[in-house]
Amino acid sequence: MVNSLQDTTTLHNGIKMPWFGLGVFKVVEGPELVNAVKVAIKHGYRSIDTAAVYANEVGVGKGIREGLEEAGIAREDLFVTSKVWNSELGYESTLAAYETSLKKLGLEYLDLYLIHWPVEGKYKEAWRALETLYKEGKVKAIGVSNFQIHHLKDLLEDAEVKPMVNQVECHPRLTQKDIQAFCQDQGIQLEAWSPLMQGELLNHERLQEIASTYGKSVAQVILRWDLQNGIVTIPKSTKEHRIVENASIFDFELTEEDMAEINELNQNHRVGPDPDNFDF
């Protein structure tokens, strides 16, 4: 049972990862970004997720430094994730990309480093680089993003270190039950990006009805559904009231019936690219 914003899941290598974090996809560099990260830390968030391709690692790093200082907490108390972009997938280029991300963030290490997309013919070399970073103690945990079951099986054939996390698009219209079952079987933690389907589900009639029975918002119900499904979640927001609201999900629990009903909303519908058909 997840009872607070600081509660963690233990990855298969023993590293603790918060169940809940702040995502910063599509948040551009600037004061709004820095403030969002600071506000999240102030209100108890202990996980921040970014990526090289978001082109906002400098601002995220600034927000982290200022947020930690203002909250009076140590860097070790924060879990920071970034991802290597497709153009940098390769052994040497991935090692270099990691150093670039660290420099932009102004950090000495990352808690989690992910391969952003499973580019065919490239992700195995990139994974070898992540294994090197991990074995050298430069990163606490390594994983992948947007990997389907067949990508994971392919990676596992040669991997010396099993991914600790697989971050995928996941929400009530794309419940990813098959991938979750496979990951659970392998001891890989599933994490949801775009958990609110980029806002498309907030006016969903049935979800609104369920939310009203708990006196909660649709966003809160979906994020609670993630946690009760054992999925790490990282909703994005830059507004303080929304950052606070998104995290106010530890004072209620969805019934099994409501959980099942939300699971039934699945249509295998994506708002992001298909990991089997992307050209970037």
What mean pLDDT value characterizes the chain?
A: 97
Rounded to whole angstroms, how far apart are CA atoms 33 and 250?
26
Which pLDDT does position 210 carry in this prediction? 98
- CA geometry: angle 13, 15, 16, nearest 5 deg: 140
Please identify every residue annotated as catalytic: 54
Which pLDDT does position 26 carry in this prediction? 87
Tell me which residue of 161, 116, 22, 134 sits closest to 78, measured CA to CA.
22
Direct distance between the N- and C-terminal alpha carbons of the chain, in angstroms, rounded to an integer = 39
Whole-angstrom CA distances from 118 to 52, 100, 134, 163 are: 16, 21, 19, 13
Tell me which residue of 57, 63, 56 sits closest to 105, measured CA to CA.
57
What are the pLDDT digits (tens) for 23-36? 999 889 999 999 99
- Residue by residue, pLDDT tens for the chain (280 residues) are 789 999 999 999 999 999 999 999 988 999 999 999 999 999 999 999 999 999 999 999 999 999 999 999 999 999 999 999 999 999 999 999 999 999 999 999 999 999 999 999 999 999 999 999 999 999 999 999 999 999 999 999 999 999 999 999 999 999 999 999 999 999 999 999 999 999 999 999 999 999 999 999 999 999 999 999 999 999 999 999 999 999 999 999 999 999 999 999 999 999 999 999 999 9
Task: Provide the whole-model pTM.
Answer: 0.97
Class of domain 8-263: alpha beta
**Residue 134: helix, strand or coil by DSSP?**
helix
Rounded to whole angstroms, how far apart are CA atoms 237 and 68?
19
Which helix (DSSP H) or strand (DSSP E) does residue 178 occupy? helix 177-186
Tokens of 148: 């389907």
**Residue 10: helix, strand or coil by DSSP?**
strand
Dihedral sign (CA 68, 170, 179, 158): negative
What are the pLDDT digits (tens) for 33-49? 999 999 999 999 999 99
Which pLDDT does position 143 carry in this prediction? 98
Rounded to whole angstroms, how far apart are CA atoms 206 and 131?
44
What are the pLDDT digits (tens) for 232-243? 999 999 999 999
